Amino acid sequence: MKRASKKLPAMSADEATAFDRFSLVNAAILEETAALKGCGCRAYEDWFTYKRWIAQGMQVQRGEHSTRIAVIIHSEKENDAGQVESKSLPRTVSVFCRCQVQPAAATSPARLEQVTA
Ligand SMILES: [Zn+2]
């Protein structure tokens, strides 16, 4: 199955680090996960989704495992009667901490080596 046709607009680095909502539960989960990993990564500062890291010019390192958190996606849509309907849908997203990423430029030569080796 192809997923490439569903393209989302590119996210800026500023947008990638901005959050319009805050979850104490998710913050606690991520801070505890960081403590278990032995790193000091902070929720909403050092934990981002794959796409948010890419938007910041970072690349998740090969073999790194994500941490899954539950979020509520809010959306508003105008119906046929012209009324705005809001929806809240539960979703699970995968996030990675700062220790699991490197600047995208630093990872490219390594990838080339792996391909040519
Ligand atoms: Zn970390």
Measured in angstroms, how far is the CA atom of residue 28 from the centroid of ligand 1?
A: 14
Which residues, in sequence order, are CB contacts of 117 under 8 Å at separation 6+? Answer: none
Residue 44 lies in a domain: yes
Domain of residue 69: give its range.
13-116
Residue 7 lies in a domain: no
Which is higher by pLDDT, 30 or 7? Answer: 30
Give the residue-averaged pLDDT of 91-102: 97
| Tally of domains in the chain | 1
Q: What is the pTM of this model?
A: 0.76
pLDDT tens string 8-27? 568 999 999 999 888 999 99
Residue 24 lies in a domain: yes
Q: Using the predicted structure, report yes or no on whether residue 117 has a pLDDT greater than 50.
A: no
The pLDDT value recorded for residue 33 is: 97
Residue 77 lies in a domain: yes
Quick one: how far is CA 20 from the chain centroid? Answer: 14
Closest CA to 108 of 69, 70, 64, 62: 62
> Counting Cβ atoms within 10 Å, is residue 100 exposed (0-12), middle (13-18) or buried (19+)?
buried
Residue 112 lies in a domain: yes
The pLDDT value recorded for residue 105 is: 83
Range scoring the smallest mean pLDDT among 1-10, 22-31, 51-60, 94-103: 1-10
Measured in angstroms, how far is the CA atom of residue 98 from the centroid of ligand 1?
A: 5
The pLDDT value recorded for residue 103 is: 96
Measured in angstroms, how far is the CA atom of residue 11 from the centroid of ligand 1?
A: 23
Residue 42 lies in a domain: yes
The pLDDT value recorded for residue 43 is: 95
Residue 2 lies in a domain: no
Measured in angstroms, how far is the CA atom of residue 27 from the centroid of ligand 1?
A: 13
Residue 4 lies in a domain: no
Measured in angstroms, how far is the CA atom of residue 32 from the centroid of ligand 1?
A: 11
pLDDT tens string 36-80? 999 999 999 999 999 999 999 999 999 999 999 999 988 899 999
